[in-house]
Structure 1
Amino acid sequence: MAIAHADFIEGMAKGMAVLESFGPTRQRLNATLAAQKAGITRAAARRHLLTLAHLGYLETDGSWFWLAPKVLGFSGSYLASAQLPRVVQPVLNRLAADTGQSFSVVVLDGDACVIVARSSASRVLAYGLHLGARLPAHATSTGRVLLAALPKAGFRSWMAGRELPRLTPRTVTDAKAFRALIDKVRQEDCCLAQEEHELGVHAIAVPLRDMRGRVVAALNAVVNPPQADAAWMVRHLLPVLWEAARDLRAVL
Structure 2
Amino acid sequence: MAGETSSGTFLQGLERGLAVIRAFSADAPSLTLSEVARDVGITPATARRILLTLGELGYVRSDGRRFSLTPRVLALGWAYLSSLDLGELAGPFMEELSAKTRESCSIATLDLPDIVYVARVPTSRIMTVALGVGARLPAYPTSMGRVLLAGLPEEKLTTYLSTLDAESLTPRTLTSLDKLRDTIDRARVDGYALVDQELELGLRSIAAPIHNARGRTIAALNVSAHASRSTPTTLRTDVLPHLQAAAAQITTALTHRGHL
After TM superposition, the score normalised by the length of structure 2 is 0.85
Identity of aligned residues (%): 37
Which of residues 167, 170, 175 is equivalent to 1:168?
170
SS in 2 for 1:202: strand
**1:74 has 2:76 as partner:** yes
SS in 2 for 1:51: helix
Residues 246 and 82 (structure 1), Cα distance of their counterparts in 2 relative to 1, 3 Å cut: closer
Deviation, 1:155, is: 0.9
Structure 2, unaligned stretches of length 5 or more? 256-260
Which of residues 97, 102, 125 is equivalent to 2:99?
97
- Aligned residue for 1:137? 139
User: Residue 86 of structure 1 aligns to which amino acid in structure 2?
Assistant: E
Deviation, 1:125, is: 5.6
- Aligned residue for 1:28? 30
Structure 1, unaligned stretches of length 5 or more? none
**1:245 has 2:251 as partner:** no
SS in 2 for 1:114: strand
Which of residues 39, 44, 47 is equivalent to 1:45?
47
Deviation, 1:45, is: 1.4
- Aligned residue for 1:200? 202
Residues 186 and 7 (structure 1), Cα distance of their counterparts in 2 relative to 1, 3 Å cut: closer
Q: How many residues align?
A: 249
In the aligned structure 1, how far is the partner of 2:175 from the partner of 2:229? Answer: 26
SS in 1 for 2:223: strand
Larger CA deviation: 52-61 vs 41-50? 52-61
**Where do 1:116-127 residues align within 5 Å?**
116-122=118-124, 124=125, 126=127, 127=129
In the aligned structure 1, how far is the partner of 2:171 from the partner of 2:25? Answer: 24
- Aligned residue for 1:228? 230
In the aligned structure 1, how far is the partner of 2:25 from the partner of 2:144? Answer: 20
CA contact (8 A) 2:126 2:225 kept: no
In the aligned structure 2, how far is the partner of 1:205 from the partner of 1:100? Answer: 16
Residues 32 and 196 (structure 1), Cα distance of their counterparts in 2 relative to 1, 3 Å cut: farther
Computed over aligned residues only, the root mean square deviation of the Cα atoms, in angstroms, reads 2.3
In the aligned structure 1, how far is the partner of 2:218 from the partner of 2:97? Answer: 20
SS in 1 for 2:245: helix
In the aligned structure 2, how far is the partner of 1:59 from the partner of 1:4? Answer: 29
**Where do 1:202-217 residues align within 5 Å?**
202-217=204-219
User: Residue 21 of structure 2 aligns to which amino acid in structure 1?
Assistant: L
User: Residue 158 of structure 2 aligns to which amino acid in structure 1?
Assistant: R
User: Residue 75 of structure 1 aligns to which amino acid in structure 2?
Assistant: G
User: Residue 147 of structure 1 aligns to which amino acid in structure 2?
Assistant: L
SS in 2 for 1:96: helix
Deviation, 1:113, is: 0.8
Residues 66 and 105 (structure 1), Cα distance of their counterparts in 2 relative to 1, 3 Å cut: same
Larger CA deviation: 72-81 vs 226-235? 72-81
1:66-88 deviation line (CA, Å, top 9, x unaligned): 22222223333433332344322
Higher relative contact order by CA 8 Å / sep ≥ 6: 1 or 2?
A: 2
**Where do 1:168-187 residues align within 5 Å?**
168-187=170-189
1:122-161 deviation line (CA, Å, top 9, x unaligned): 4x36323210111100111000111111122221111123
In the aligned structure 2, how far is the partner of 1:54 from the partner of 1:240? Answer: 49
Residues 150 and 76 (structure 1), Cα distance of their counterparts in 2 relative to 1, 3 Å cut: closer
In the aligned structure 2, how far is the partner of 1:169 from the partner of 1:83? Answer: 38
